[in-house]
């Protein structure tokens, strides 16, 4: 039986997005076209692929036939994607797709020159940014749902993939140091200080990144090493929001130095070097530990190392 790739694409989108409307938005088609494609595929195969929404069962759900088809269609699309990448390599990366995983902070403050250089060199390659904290990015690269990641080291010791530490499931290539600094408002009592020791933060209201971020885990470990039990009054995964709240004098925060250059220059924030924090963290590339990596990922790696001094 000859399979209709267009119908299969619509079916996969509905399964992935959990509904016909969401699938239509994801693949840029009308809901009616997606519904007709799936109906045609069901008629072609002689099996219902989804349990449609009802009063007691909201959303669509795969039938057993649908689950079988999805498993094999994912394999088929994976093979097609590999073939596309190999063909793109033969034509000088004039086409293809690249998924880059990174945090909001690195994506905003470090990667724009790399992305600009990649776009100039390979305008036909579709680039997608997958924003997530460094631990999640590393896991996505190990699972190959992301082609290449730009993360902050060290990654958590308890992070694993396939039963082994995450660092063993990746190729990790350090690029440059990423020191953290304490930030205060211009009116804070520490606004004239140049250095502070971590022990001095024991009683200070701290605004910190969320516990699922590499930065927060590193900060917690360093504070614990000095016996400091931090007084955390707010936590969130946005460095930009942390900066704004510090400007408003809700407390002080520890953030990457690369993220506050503009505010320090304009005088809206004051940066204080931290003693007792040990060696600076590192920005690093992470790639799957086994070949092949996509030609686009290899090209991005080369540009990142050139632009970021690795």
The answer to whether 126 and 93 have CB atoms below 8 angstroms apart is no
Q: Looking at the structure, do residues 212 and 81 belong to the same domain, yes or no?
A: no
In 195-289, beta strands by DSSP E: 195-197, 205-209, 231-236, 252-256, 270-275, 281-288
pTM more than 0.75: no
- Identify the pLDDT of residue 163: 80
The answer to whether 304 and 172 have CB atoms below 8 angstroms apart is no
Tell me the C-alpha distance between 114 and 150, whole Å.
11
Q: Looking at the structure, do residues 169 and 286 belong to the same domain, yes or no?
A: yes
pLDDT band at 156 (very low <50, low <70, confident <90, very high): confident
- Identify the pLDDT of residue 178: 92
Kindly report, residue by residue over 60-115, the tens digit of the pLDDT: 889 999 999 988 888 888 888 777 776 666 567 877 889 999 999 999 999 999 99
Q: Looking at the structure, do residues 258 and 129 belong to the same domain, yes or no?
A: no
In the chain, beta strands by DSSP E: 50-51, 61-62, 97-102, 126-131, 148-153, 160-161, 164-165, 170-178, 180-184, 195-197, 205-209, 231-236, 252-256, 270-275, 281-288
- Residue 16 CB: number of other CB atoms within 10 A? 13
- Identify the pLDDT of residue 82: 78
| CA 114, chain centre distance (Å) | 16
Q: Looking at the structure, do residues 259 and 220 belong to the same domain, yes or no?
A: yes
Q: Looking at the structure, do residues 42 and 170 belong to the same domain, yes or no?
A: no
- The residue out of 65, 88, 111 marking a domain boundary is 88
Q: Looking at the structure, do residues 116 and 40 belong to the same domain, yes or no?
A: no
Q: Looking at the structure, do residues 196 and 131 belong to the same domain, yes or no?
A: no
The yes-or-no verdict on residue 199 having pLDDT over 70 is yes
Arithmetic mean of pLDDT, 173-192: 94
- Identify the pLDDT of residue 60: 83
Structural domain range at position 262:
180-279
pLDDT band at 2 (very low <50, low <70, confident <90, very high): low
What percentage of residues in the chain have a pLDDT greater than 70? 95
In 74-230, beta strands by DSSP E: 97-102, 126-131, 148-153, 160-161, 164-165, 170-178, 180-184, 195-197, 205-209
- Identify the pLDDT of residue 55: 53
The yes-or-no verdict on residue 176 having pLDDT over 90 is yes
Q: How many domains does the chain have?
A: 3
Q: Looking at the structure, do residues 103 and 141 belong to the same domain, yes or no?
A: yes
The yes-or-no verdict on residue 54 having pLDDT over 70 is no
Q: Which residue has the higher pLDDT, 111 or 53?
A: 111
Q: Looking at the structure, do residues 185 and 253 belong to the same domain, yes or no?
A: yes
Kindly report, residue by residue over 262-290, the tens digit of the pLDDT: 999 999 999 999 998 878 899 999 999 87
CATH of the domain at 32: 1.10.10.10
pLDDT band at 1 (very low <50, low <70, confident <90, very high): low
Q: N- to C-terminal Cα distance for the chain? A: 52
Q: Looking at the structure, do residues 131 and 267 belong to the same domain, yes or no?
A: no
CATH of the domain at 113: 3.40.190.10
The candidate with the shortest Cα–Cα distance to 169, out of 6, 290, 28, 303, is: 290
The yes-or-no verdict on residue 56 having pLDDT over 60 is no
Q: Looking at the structure, do residues 189 and 273 belong to the same domain, yes or no?
A: yes
- The residue out of 60, 88, 116 marking a domain boundary is 88
Arithmetic mean of pLDDT, 133-157: 91
Q: Looking at the structure, do residues 62 and 129 belong to the same domain, yes or no?
A: no
- Identify the pLDDT of residue 293: 83
């Amino acid at each position: 039986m000859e399979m209709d790739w267009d119908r299969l694409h619509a079916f996969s989108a509905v399964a992935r997005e959990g509904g016909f409307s969401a699938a239509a938005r994801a693949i840029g088609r009308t809901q009616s076209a997606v519904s007709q494609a799936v109906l045609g595929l069901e008629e072609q195969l002689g099996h219902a692929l989804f349990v449609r929404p009802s009063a007691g069962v909201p959303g669509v759900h795969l039938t057993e036939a649908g689950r079988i088809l999805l498993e094999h269609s994912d394999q088929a699309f994976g093979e097609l994607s590999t073939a596309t990448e190999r063909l793109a390599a033969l034509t000088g990366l004039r086409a293809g797709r690249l998924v880059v995983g990174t945090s909001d902070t690195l994506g905003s403050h470090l990667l724009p020159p790399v992305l600009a250089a990649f776009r100039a060199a390979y305008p036909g390659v579709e680039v997608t940014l997958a924003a997530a904290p460094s631990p999640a990015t590393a896991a996505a690269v190990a699972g190959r749902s992301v082609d290449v990641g730009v993360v902050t080291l060290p990654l958590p010791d308890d992070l694993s993939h396939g039963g082994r530490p995450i660092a063993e499931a990746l190729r990790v290539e350090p690029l440059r140091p990423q020191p953290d600094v304490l930030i205060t408002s211009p009116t804070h009592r520490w606004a004239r200080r140049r250095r502070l020791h971590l022990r001095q933060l024991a009683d200070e209201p701290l605004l910190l990144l969320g516990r699922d971020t590499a930065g927060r885990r590193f900060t917690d470990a360093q504070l614990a090493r000095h016996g400091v039990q931090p007084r955390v009054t707010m936590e969130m995964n946005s460095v930009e929001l942390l900066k704004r709240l510090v400007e408003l004098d809700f407390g002080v925060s520890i953030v990457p130095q690369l993220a506050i250059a503009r505010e320090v220059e304009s005088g809206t924030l004051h940066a204080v070097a931290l003693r007792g924090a040990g060696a600076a963290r590192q920005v690093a590339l992470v790639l799957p530990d086994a070949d092949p990596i996509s030609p686009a990922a290899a090209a991005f790696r080369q540009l990142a190392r050139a632009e970021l001094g690795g």
